[in-house]
Structures are given as structure tokens and as C-alpha cells.
Chain A
Amino acid sequence: MARFGFILILTGFLMTALGSLPAVADGVPVPTLAKPLGEQCVEPKDFMRRNHMDLLKHQRDETMREGIRGKKYSWKGCVECHAATHPKIAEGKIRTLYPFCAQCHHYAAVKIDCVSCHSPVAQGNEPMKFSTMEEEEAQKLLSMMKGHLGEEASQ
């Protein structure tokens, strides 16, 4: 009889636990990701969600240490398609990877520091539009160099 009572209590607990599950799921909003520019990611969505970090890490070592470039996975590739504008970032004038990455990384409470070194800013057709003064100086110098090279080539 005592055993029967125990099972009843256990069942009660289980029911309560199951009943509370949807409430837990409602607690944190599930991320809704901005639509990327491209049609198709380098791998299927589900695979990318779980493995993007491994793909990046594997290829970073190959690129950095062995000089193998232009392969399928790349940080630059991520930026090209997934960078998006956000009103709080540079008044929505530049496309960065922050809005895309931040949603899931906030949801999963995973903090990574890729962007402290790697530029998350997409290079548009008009990079000057988003430049600071220092950048402008640099761009001027670059165009001077290009002019110089052009002369050399025509000789």
C-alpha cells in the first residue's frame, strides 16, 4: 500500500513537471534571425547552427599557418551575407555582423571575441561613406599609390 502511495506521488510530480515545461520555454524569446543576403548558406542551416565555430576554427588554422586561401568557409563570407544594419549601430548606416550573431549568442549565453580583432563590418561599394577622418587619409594614400602604379604600368 505504501508503495502504491509512492507511485501516486511520483506521478503527481511528473504531471506537475510536464505541465510547467511550456512555461519554461516561453521564458526566453527564441531568436528570429535576419534574412541573409545570399540564397543558400555554405552548408544546411541545421548543420551551420551547430558547427559554424568548428568550420571557422579549422579553416583559420589552414589559412594562417599554411597560407591556404579561398576555401569554402571564411569569416569574410559570413560577413558578406549575414551583416545587417541596426539603428543602434552607427545610426544604421553600416552593415555589421553584430545583429545576426548577437541574437543566438545572447540566447545561448555564449560570449565570443571574434569581433574584437576581426572586422564585422561589411565592405560595401562605397566604403568612404562610413569612414572616419583617419580612414580618409589612408584611402587618399591608397589612391595615390594606385595612380603611381598606373603610370608605371603604362610605361
Chain B
Amino acid sequence: MRKPLTLRILSALDTKSWIALGIFLALALLVVPVLHLNFPEDSAFHVSTYAITLIGKIMCYALVAVAMDLIWGYGGILSLGHGLFFALGGYAFGMYLMRQIGRDGSYGADLPDFMVFLDWKELPWFWLGSDSFGWASFLVLAVPAVVAFVFGYFAFRSRIKGVYFSIITQALTYAAMLLFFRNETGFGGNNGFTDFKRVLGYSITSPETRLVLFGLTAVMLAATLVFAAWLVKSKFGRVLTAIRDAESRVMFIGYNPLWYKLTIWVISAVLCGIAGALYVPQVGIINPSEMSPGNSIEIAIWVAVGGRGTLIGPIIGAFVVNLAKSWFTVSFPEYWLFFLGLLFIVVTLMLPQGLVGLWKKLMAKKEGAAA
């Protein structure tokens, strides 16, 4: 007999994890806002705007990392094009934010500035409805889903896998980047979207809006985590893991891997799109360089650093790598690439299970020594 949905969701995580998740949400939704709003800037307890933006941004990245882990850690499919779905979500929401600028742009026109600059007289058809928050939110989910579905269907149907698949996804995001770099594509070319003023009528730079976006990202991340934990434990998740480990055998037993792979691929893309949509209003810019192949590969390294095949690993990885990045790029900009490159090498050579795997190994040793 199947358990009711609430029970099944509850059983996705163990008690300890639920408590940890609760603490995380309490921190993000209560403690950070209180510290940010109620303490003066010189106070030791004050959480600065910089910190909120940075953590908010990294939480978006962590969301992407979890999405990547679903497809790579559990599905065994390494995508080097996840930056594309992230950027598509970001662009879809960015269109709405551009329309929210209204007549406050530097040209004071109804159209977004870059269109005035290109001497366009009216919005292109794909901008239709972009002034509606609902439609924009729908696009955030639908555009990555459709792109992922079409691409994934053809790729998985012809059983492209392994490095072949990775390379083709890389080419996909590369081609998309070139497309978005063009001014004629209608998404602001090189500069992308920036100079946002409002979201849902609220000023985008006000502390309250920031905190709402920050909290929303935290909730989204927590919800994704619960959803992913439930998903990988479900029958679907089991079949997926089986496909990762022995695709031919799963086929011979009678499953069609196409639909399993395609489903997790589309889910992963949609999660990336959501992350992109949360990222854009917090960071205040989206441009085609988000789609560069290098960015997408970096996503893979977050997952690898944290430990793939675990759900907390990607989040840890995203935080570790991105905190290191913001520290390096401020203190030693010229060494960042060396660090990142060596991180790729060292993690793949010495930490195949990532930090989580290292932790587990250390714990096992400790227990072994105690016993």
C-alpha cells in the first residue's frame, strides 16, 4: 500500500536532516533579515548588503549544482551545457525586469534601451506578454524545459552518451552564446540586460526586496533539496541509478532508458532555469557570457568538489568554490585560474567522491580506530 504524499515527503529526509534544513531556513528567513535591518553598519552583528548578495548568488549556484547532480551524480550524464538553461531562465525573467523599467531608462522610451539604440520601433513577437509577471514566470519554466526536451529527445533517442553527449551539450551552449551575442537576436547583444529598477513594482535595490529575494532563494533551495531527496529514493530514482551503472542491462530487463533520462534531464534544466530567474534580480545583470562553455564546466566542478551522488555535496561544493573564487578574485586575481585548474585536477585525481566522500572516509577511520 502506498503511503500518503505527506508521509512520503517526510520520509525523504531523516530527522537530523529535517532539523538541519529547519535551522538553515530559520537563519535565512529570520536571523539574516533581523541582523541586516536592525543593526547599524558598523556593528559586529550587521550582515552587509555585499554578503547578502554574495550568499544569495551562491545559493542560486547551489541550486544549479543540485540540478547538475541529479543528472550527473544520479543519471551518469555529464552535461557541459547547463549554463545555457540557467541563462535561459535568467533571460526569461530578465525580459520582465526590462519591461518593469518602463520609461525610467536612459532614453525615457517605452521600449528597453537597447531596442531604442537599435532603432527598433516595436517589441519583437517573442517579447509579447513579457510585462506580465505570470507569463515571465511561465517562460522561466517553459523555455528551458522545451529546449531541454527537444535537444534531449534527439540526443538520447540516438543513444548519444558519455563524452559524446558532453561535447555536444558544450557545443549547444557555445552556439547559443554566439546567438545571444548578436544584437539582432533581440536580447541586448553583448551587454545583455541590466539597469533593472523594479520587480513587481518594488524597487529592486531596497533592502526589503533584497531580503525577500534572498529568502525566496533559500526556500527554493530547501524545497529542491527535499524534492531531489524524494526523487532519488523513489522508484524512478532507482531505475535512473541503475541506468547510470549498467544501461544495457536495464534495457534488457525491459525499461526504456530514453524516458527516464529525458525526464531527469528536463527536471534538471527547469531547476537551472529557476535558479537563473532568482539570480538575475539579485545580481542585476544577465549577459551571454553566462552561456560560455567555461561557466558550464565550472558547474560540474562544484558538484565534483562537494561529492556527486550525494545531495548535500553539490551545495557544499558550490559554496566552497564560489567563496574561494570571490576571495581569490579580490586578493590574487592572477592566481584564480591556477587554483581553479588545479582544483579540477586534484579533485578528479584524489577526491573522486568529493568533500563528502572525504568526510565519510575520515569518519569511518575514526570509528575503526574507536572500535
**A and B found bound together:** no
Query: Which chain B residues have a beta carbon within 8 Å of chain A's beta carbons?
Result: none
